[in-house]
């Protein structure tokens, strides 16, 4: 599979989606240019899809990825982590060669 969301990540996204009014149809995951290392991840709620989007279904959660982002996200695992330092979504991407010091951007 090109993209994986852990059950904990799926549950957290569904929890946040349920709080939105109106409820979005799903989650868009993308890679955008920017950050100190060249690329960064972006997650947004989505109401409309593009016909060329790849659509993943994780236990009823629709996740949309555009074709350009799919190249960079192939094999990526997304988890939701909670720790003393904070909580958030963690991307484990086998395509990443380097990351910046703050961990918010990467290069391939």
| Least confident segment among 8-12, 18-22, 96-100 | 96-100
Query: 84 in a domain, yes or no?
Result: yes
Query: 23 in a domain, yes or no?
Result: yes
Torsion of CA 2, 81, 33, 25, to 10 degrees: 60
Give the tens place of pLDDT for each residue, 67-84: 999 988 999 999 999 988
* pLDDT over 70, % of the chain: 84
- pLDDT for res 76: 93
Supply the CATH number for residue 66's domain.
2.60.300.12
For residue 98, name the pLDDT band (cuts at 50, 70, 90): low
Task: Give residue 24's domain range.
Answer: 3-97
Total structural domains within the chain: 1
Query: 75 in a domain, yes or no?
Result: yes
Helix, coil or strand: residue 39: strand
Query: 36 in a domain, yes or no?
Result: yes
pTM of the model: 0.84
Query: 13 in a domain, yes or no?
Result: yes
């Amino acid at each position: 599979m090109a993209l994986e969301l852990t059950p904990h990540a799926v549950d957290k996204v569904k929890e946040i989606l349920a709080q939105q009014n109106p409820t979005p149809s799903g989650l868009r995951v993308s890679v955008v240019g920017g950050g100190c290392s060249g690329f960064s991840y972006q997650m947004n709620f989505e109401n409309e899809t593009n016909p060329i989007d790849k659509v993943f279904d994780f236990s009823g959660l629709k996740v949309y990825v555009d074709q350009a982002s799919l190249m960079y996200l192939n094999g990526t695992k997304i988890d939701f982590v909670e720790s003393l330092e904070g909580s958030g979504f963690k991307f484990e991407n086998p395509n990443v060669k380097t990351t910046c010091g703050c961990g918010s951007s990467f290069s391939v």
